[in-house]
Structure 1
């Protein structure tokens, strides 16, 4: 059984909820990623910030990325996957919530991220095709 822990990118770096969208953009560029988990002062996951969030909610809205805090851009409760959840649960969760990236947690601790590309590399073609189709609709 393939689990989230097997296919995740480990050691995901957080952006602090009180850190700026500008710092988040720099961190994304430095790490070569399109999303960062948002963590609060309590080290708990508050959400996920994507490069698209920065473009649409900050830049296109004529807001100053140095002034907007990452935590202000978090939408509701973060959709996550447990480290020991199997691949079918990853597919179900991504499809149901129409997300391309999932923070992987072990208890309340962030241990990694699973992206659509990770799933594509790890699972058989038909399952990946179903996921891509589910995420592409609407």
Structure 2
């Protein structure tokens, strides 16, 4: 897990989300409500495919408009459980949550750094094979 996932407020626009991703060198951001609770997640791919490619203006679409559904792990989720969640939901980033707040993010880069090659290869095959 990469600790310290920065949230973007649900009311912020996607152009601001893209700027935060660039500045933080990340590809995903948790979306938070006014109380700081995570309500979803958006990725750089969401912005491109579900906003820009569909002809929408990222300066007028809110983060909450794309943040649908939330799959997450808790701090005590095992590696095997996290991999199973990511494979089942075909996701490449998994927020780690505690008390409805993001405390970190598990990404493909984290997996690449910490998994044995055979386990990483199996994960990649399962996630990308159905994509």
What band does the TM-score fall into relative to the shorter chain?
Answer: over 0.9
Q: Does 1:136 align with 2:128?
A: yes
Q: Name 1:93's counterpart in structure 2.
A: 85
| Aligned equivalent of 2:36, options 33, 43, 47 | 43
The runs of 5 or more residues in structure 2 that have no matched partner are none
Q: Name 2:111's counterpart in structure 1.
A: 119
Q: After TM superposition, list the pairs within 5 Å mapping 1:27-42 onto structure 2.
A: 27-42=20-35
In the TM superposition, residue 109 of structure 1 has moved relative to its aligned partner by 2.2
Q: Does 1:73 align with 2:66?
A: yes
Q: Measure the CA separation in 2 of the matches of 1:56 and 1:124.
A: 32
Count of residues paired in the alignment: 130
TM-score by length of 2: 0.94
In the TM superposition, residue 55 of structure 1 has moved relative to its aligned partner by 0.8
RMSD of equivalent CA atoms: 1.0
| Aligned equivalent of 2:94, options 94, 102, 113 | 102
The runs of 5 or more residues in structure 1 that have no matched partner are 1-7
The C-alpha deviation readout for 1:47-79, integer Å capped at 9, x for no partner, is 111111111121111111111000011122x10
Q: Measure the CA separation in 2 of the matches of 1:107 and 1:119.
A: 24
In the TM superposition, residue 42 of structure 1 has moved relative to its aligned partner by 2.0
Q: Measure the CA separation in 1 of the matches of 2:116 and 2:64.
A: 36
Q: Name 2:15's counterpart in structure 1.
A: 22
TM-score by length of 1: 0.90
Structure 1 residue ranges (4+ consecutive) displaced by more than 2 angstroms after TM superposition: none
In the TM superposition, residue 107 of structure 1 has moved relative to its aligned partner by 2.9
In the TM superposition, residue 124 of structure 1 has moved relative to its aligned partner by 1.5
